[in-house]
Amino acid sequence: MNFKFIISAFSILLSYVSFGQSINYRLKMEKPQNHYFQVEMELTDFKENDVTVKMPVWAPGSYLVREFSKNVDLVKAKDEKGQALAVNKKTKNAWVISKGAAKKVIVSYEVYAFELSVRTSFLDLTHGFVSGSGVFMYVDGRQELAGQLTVVPYKDFAKVSTALPKSAESVAADGVQSFVFKNYDQLVDCPIEIGNQEVFTFKAAGVLHTVAIYGAGNYNVDKLKADMAKIVETATGVVGENPNKEYTFIIHNVVDGQGGLEHCNSCTLSVNRWTYSDAEYLGFLSLVAHEYFHLWNVKRIRPIELGPFNYDEENYTSLLWVMEGFTTYYDELLLVRAGYTDDTDYLQKLQSTVNYVEGSVGARVQPLAHASFDAWIKAYRPNENSSNTTMTYYSRGQMLAALIDVMIISKYDGKKCLDHFLQQLYNKYYKKLNRGFSEQEFKTELEEMLGENLDVFFAKYVNGTDIAPLSETFAKVGVQVTEIGLPRASFGAGLRQDGGKTIVRSIRAGSAAELAGLSVNDELIGCNGYRVDQTDFEQFVNGVENGAQFKILVSRDDILYELSVKMTMYDRPQYQFKVVEDDAKAKLRKYWLRKTV
């Protein structure tokens, strides 16, 4: 018997579970076919007569109130003698337990789990996935308490994959596994995959990485090990150190891949099962890079509002453009540094991003800071008018990250870049101060890095809607940006086919279609006296000149309307990126788009 191991394991457990008050959870899945997890919370030595337990309303990293309590049923409580305790619902996500003099309270409830995404939970006979904030309740005001989670897998499930540290007893003979957590934030920050997933490991950047893959796919384990390790090494090189000792990837191979969600020492990726070849594989590696880079940018380099979390309501910040935009910038840049793409590929992608951002009507309406702040009510709740009034903080933030990177490279003549700014934030706010930064602190730190006042920059491009200084900035690294957009006659409505009908799906603000009175969801039936489908109408309207007039017949709520249309001009900004051969600037460009692995 290895006594040193036992003492070490016991010491780890003590560091997580303190004497006195404690919270322990037990997770079961007795009938996966009904999609319910059974949860027990054991509360020990709580002195209050009444204890309030709550279910979060959102999942950190996904900025939408999802009302997880809607999936909770059969909330009950009993004391250490098995006597029932009164449970009264206080609010939509809170239950008050009248514990009286009970020394121990066991709270039990069920959670319906039938939404397989990276931010929600799922259970059926093939596997279980736990996104913690939608499954585990917490004791109000006591999120700092440590505890233990025991997972009791369904009889046909052989594996449990999570980044939670294992407890001293770890795995029992019946497959039950136990884990420890230092506080509630850590518990729900570690998703859990339960089933018969394929599991493999690799080591990179001094960190042991575990990959758990659910679902069939055209992946090759050896190739994944090599490529994911290269991404990890390249990403770690940005900040200069990897704060984790272990890291877990949970990958779901499904039909409708939904992206990823970051955590401190793990992530969940949802991808199409046939994504592991050709161009789609580069997209997968970009997703790996994006979610992995978040272990620094968001989880440790973060706005002060994003941790510790308020699980009861929205956690507002105007800096999501930095968290998601900078990370999106790096997920493409890391592919260049790792050798999967080259500078030509990268500049083409950047050109596409710029044209999408600056060519959007919404980019002239919603400032980037507002897009971040209003993510809760706009980004995650789009409607038919969203393209006219919003702009994603991912893409616009990515564009600003590229501009800021080039500004730093130019100032320091290729000796510093955006990496060094992130290192500055990481060392000061995460390692030294152990907190996030305010919007003003972020701006001040960037001003210190660049040695200039950024009031105008932030007023125009972060808090305003001006077109970014593309030409003058990218010229510093030998990239000529030319505006090539030309005004053209435009109808301004997007169409779709639905069951043989031609339906209006979108209308651009200020367009000929809007001025004519066309509405989203109208059925387009005819044009100038002729029946048309989507192809017919689009061919017709593409040949109509500015100022020309025509009539369209539409059905709205089964009432026919004839509308008169007068074609108008639309001037959409569009840009072309081209490398300029200049030895001095080429040196800076090569540093910007360098290969490091």
Strand-pair partners of 494: 506
Whether 401 is covered by a domain: the verdict is: yes
Q: Please enumerate in sequence order all residues whose Cβ is within 8 A of that of 174, keeping only pairs 6 or more positions apart, or say none.
A: none
> Edge to edge, what strands does the sheet with 259-262 contain?
198-204, 207-214, 246-254, 266-272, 259-262
Token readout for 335 is 């592919």
CATH of the domain at 116: 2.60.40.3650
Whether 575 is covered by a domain: the verdict is: no
- H or E element at residue 554: strand 549-556
Q: Please enumerate in sequence order all residues whose Cβ is within 8 A of that of 362, keeping only pairs 6 or more positions apart, or say none.
A: 386, 387, 388, 389, 390, 391
- Residue range 56-88, pLDDT digits in tens: 999 999 999 999 999 999 999 999 999 999 999
- Nearest one of 393, 388, 74, 427 to 243, comparing CA atoms: 427
pLDDT given at position 395: 98
Range of the domain at 20: 3-192
- Residue range 289-323, pLDDT digits in tens: 999 999 999 999 999 999 999 999 999 999 999 99
Whether 281 is covered by a domain: the verdict is: no
CA 142: distance to chain centroid? 27
Q: Treating both helix axes as pointing N-terminal to C-terminal, what angle do 278-293 and 326-337 enclose, rounded to 10 degrees? A: 120
Q: Count the neighbouring beta carbons within 10 Å of the beta carbon of residue 170.
A: 12
**Whether residue 168 sits in one domain with residue 245:** no
pLDDT given at position 583: 86
Question: What are phi and psi for residue 462, nearest 5 degrees?
Answer: -105, -50
Strand-pair partners of 490: 568
**Whether residue 255 sits in one domain with residue 314:** no
pLDDT given at position 461: 98
**Whether residue 387 sits in one domain with residue 259:** no
Question: What single-letter amino acid sits at 412?
Answer: Y
pLDDT given at position 517: 98
Compute the distance between CA of residue 309 and CA of residue 317 in angstroms, rounded to an integer. Answer: 12
**Whether residue 157 sits in one domain with residue 63:** yes
CATH of the domain at 503: 2.30.42.10
**Whether residue 430 sits in one domain with residue 311:** yes
**Whether residue 124 sits in one domain with residue 17:** yes
**Whether residue 360 sits in one domain with residue 254:** no
CATH of the domain at 223: 3.30.2010.30
**Whether residue 496 sits in one domain with residue 374:** no
Whether 580 is covered by a domain: the verdict is: no
Q: Please enumerate in sequence order all residues whose Cβ is within 8 A of that of 274, keeping only pairs 6 or more positions apart, or say none.
A: 217, 218, 280
Question: What are phi and psi for residue 413, nearest 5 degrees?
Answer: 50, 45
Token readout for 82 is 């098995």
Residue 574 DSSP SS3: coil
Whether 188 is covered by a domain: the verdict is: yes
Listed residues 169, 192, 215: the one ending a domain: 192
Domain count of the fold of the chain: 4
DSSP state of 488: E
Instruction: Determine the straight-line distance between the first and last CA of the chain, rounded to whole angstroms.
Output: 44
pLDDT in tens, the chain (597 residues): 444 444 444 444 444 444 578 999 999 999 999 999 999 999 999 999 999 999 999 999 999 999 999 999 999 999 999 999 999 999 999 999 999 999 999 999 999 999 999 999 999 999 999 999 999 999 999 999 999 999 999 999 999 999 999 998 766 768 899 999 999 999 999 999 999 999 999 999 999 999 999 999 999 999 999 999 999 999 999 999 999 999 999 999 999 999 999 999 999 999 999 999 999 999 999 999 999 999 999 999 999 999 999 999 999 999 999 999 999 999 999 999 999 999 999 999 999 999 999 999 999 999 999 999 999 999 999 999 999 999 999 999 999 999 999 999 999 999 999 999 999 999 999 999 999 999 999 999 999 999 999 999 999 999 999 999 999 999 999 999 999 999 999 999 999 999 999 999 999 999 999 999 999 999 999 999 999 999 999 999 999 999 999 999 999 999 999 999 999 999 999 999 999 988 889 999 999 999 987
Whether 148 is covered by a domain: the verdict is: yes
Listed residues 479, 509, 537: the one ending a domain: 479
SS in 3 state form for 158-206?
CEEEECCCEEEEEECCCCCEEEEECCHHHHHCCCEEEECCEEEEEEECC
CA Rg, the chain, in Å? 27
pLDDT given at position 584: 87
The answer to whether 204 and 229 are in contact (CB under 8 A) is yes
pLDDT given at position 582: 85
**Whether residue 201 sits in one domain with residue 188:** no
**Whether residue 179 sits in one domain with residue 95:** yes
Report CA torsion sign: 255, 286, 164, 171.
positive
Whether 53 is covered by a domain: the verdict is: yes
Question: What single-letter amino acid sits at 250?
Answer: I
Listed residues 141, 166, 192: the one ending a domain: 192
Q: Which residues of 323-344 are buried (b: 16+ CB within 10 A; e: fewer)?
A: bbbbbbbbbbbbbbbbebbebe
**Whether residue 426 sits in one domain with residue 539:** no
CATH of the domain at 392: 1.10.390.10
Whether 185 is covered by a domain: the verdict is: yes
**Whether residue 300 sits in one domain with residue 261:** no
Token readout for 72 is 């909770």
Compute the distance between CA of residue 370 and CA of residue 392 in angstroms, rounded to an integer. Answer: 10
Compute the distance between CA of residue 72 and CA of residue 504 in angstroms, rounded to an integer. Answer: 39
Contacts 24+ apart (CB under 8 A), 522-531: 522/554, 522/555, 522/556, 523/554, 523/555, 523/556, 524/495, 524/552, 524/553, 524/554, 525/553, 525/554, 525/555, 525/560, 526/552, 526/553, 527/551, 527/552, 527/553
Compute the distance between CA of residue 112 and CA of residue 96 in angstroms, rounded to an integer. Answer: 21
Compute the distance between CA of residue 260 and CA of residue 250 in angstroms, rounded to an integer. Answer: 10
CA 344: distance to chain centroid? 27
Peptide linkage before 308 cis (omega within 30 of 0): yes
pLDDT given at position 209: 98
- Nearest one of 576, 549, 567 to 487, comparing CA atoms: 567
